Amino acid sequence: MAAEFDVVVVGCGPAGNTVAYRLAAAGARVLLLEKEALPRHKVCGGGLSAKTLREAPFSLAPVIEREIGSALIAYAGANPVVCALPRTGGMAQRAALDAFMTVQAVAAGASLRERETFEGFEPDAVGVRVTTGSGTVTARVLVGADGVYSRVRARLFPGAKPRMAPAIEALLWPAPGTLEMMGGTCVFDLGVIPAGYGWVFPKGDHLNVGLYRFARRPGNRDMRALLDAFIARYRILRRHERIQVKALLIPVAPAAPTLARDNVVLVGDAAGLSDALFGEGIYYAVKSGNTAAEAILRYLGSHRPLAAYDRMMAGMRFELAAARMAARLFYASPRHAFRFGVRNRAVMAVFAGMVAGSVSPARALAALPALAPYWLAAPPLRPVASPLVG
């Protein structure tokens, strides 16, 4: 008996949509399952780095609300320095991004079922029998792209969970004129939260303001108070007209030693793929989606083992491990990281390269010892005016 679909993809985020688009465009029969109606809000900073825009399977320009050409980095609001990003990134809202990517996947030939829950799966003669809220479907491959609380992962690897880093964001609608003051600059502020940073990202009609903490601390439950203090620090943030606050967890280590088993593949947050240094997940979601699609197409075409996906992901695992090591070093003392790293022109160039994708986390980590003498000898970058002080 033939399967109804070649692939069932659970989740319409960047990872799931990338897989679905790539497979459908290649002629595979793809079913997308999304538990909510699109568009729906997702807690996410919404930053699209230059490397993400290059990795995407199609142009994301229609959902970019603001192009970003520089980052301002400060320590507790003091001595801000500018990092000019060599290639433009952009800011989007996840609701619009996910809905747009889903439209592209459907246009490529994927079928979509919204408000459809994933209930479970079991192997069968043709591959996988997937149970949903409205019945069952059969497929040769199941892709778990259902986020940090993945139900597919829970069924595939019971008890397996990625290491989580806490974050909190506020959608903040500021006073008139504030967004014009921000322009195409995003802000990162060290020292406003232990072992982490604060961010301010300008969007089309609001600011995305939040805190990321890499290290586990007893005070993780107090992040709302830290966020309130961060907002109160800056006059233009205090003068907001409306605010919405949400907490989130960012997976910063792969959830399991293998990410493909029994005709099931995990991608994106479901697989635990985010950069521990920046907390960036969209790039790794899209990249893992592209990698999974390649492995699945090989399997569908010539029955090559899906385990090839894990071999293809070895490079990403290595880079994410390097990012975790860099995060441990950087966030051990954000004050010293800012003084000897961020304010150093050579180190700032490495940071810009990581954002652009021209410098990998492993290469950046290897470069730091070589730059150590320069840290002490080179004059620091000159502080600039921050748009946040208004």
Q: Give me the CATH number covering residue 361.
A: 3.30.9
Query: What average pLDDT score do residues 20-42 get?
Result: 96
In this prediction, residue 244 carries a pLDDT of: 92
In this prediction, residue 313 carries a pLDDT of: 96
Domain count of the fold of the chain: 2
User: Are 174 and 235 in a shared domain?
Assistant: yes
* The amino acid at 50: A
Q: Of residues 342 and 275, which shows the higher confidence score?
A: 275
Query: What average pLDDT score do residues 8-15 get?
Result: 98
User: Are 23 and 102 in a shared domain?
Assistant: yes
Query: What average pLDDT score do residues 157-172 get?
Result: 92
* Lowest-confidence segment of 26-40, 233-247, 348-362 by average pLDDT: 348-362
User: Are 134 and 233 in a shared domain?
Assistant: no
Q: Is 375 domain-assigned?
A: yes
Q: Is 77 domain-assigned?
A: yes
User: Are 10 and 155 in a shared domain?
Assistant: yes
Q: List the strands of the sheet with 164-174, edge to edge.
A: 47-48, 78-91, 66-75, 185-190, 196-202, 207-213, 164-174, 240-251
Q: Is 52 domain-assigned?
A: no
In this prediction, residue 219 carries a pLDDT of: 57
User: Are 246 and 256 in a shared domain?
Assistant: no
User: Are 71 and 152 in a shared domain?
Assistant: no
User: Are 98 and 227 in a shared domain?
Assistant: no
User: Are 157 and 168 in a shared domain?
Assistant: no
Q: Give me the percent of the chain exceeding a pLDDT of 90.
A: 65
Whether the model pTM is above 0.85: yes
Q: How far is CA 236 from CA 69, 158, 200, 232, 310, in A?
A: 21, 46, 11, 9, 47
In this prediction, residue 20 carries a pLDDT of: 98
Q: Is 237 domain-assigned?
A: yes
User: Are 259 and 305 in a shared domain?
Assistant: yes
CATH number at residue 148: 3.50.50.60
Q: Which domain range does residue 358 map to? A: 65-90+164-251+334-390
pLDDT digits (tens, 9 = 90+) for 79-126: 899 887 766 789 999 999 999 999 999 999 999 999 999 999 999 988
pLDDT digits (tens, 9 = 90+) for 272-286: 999 999 999 999 999
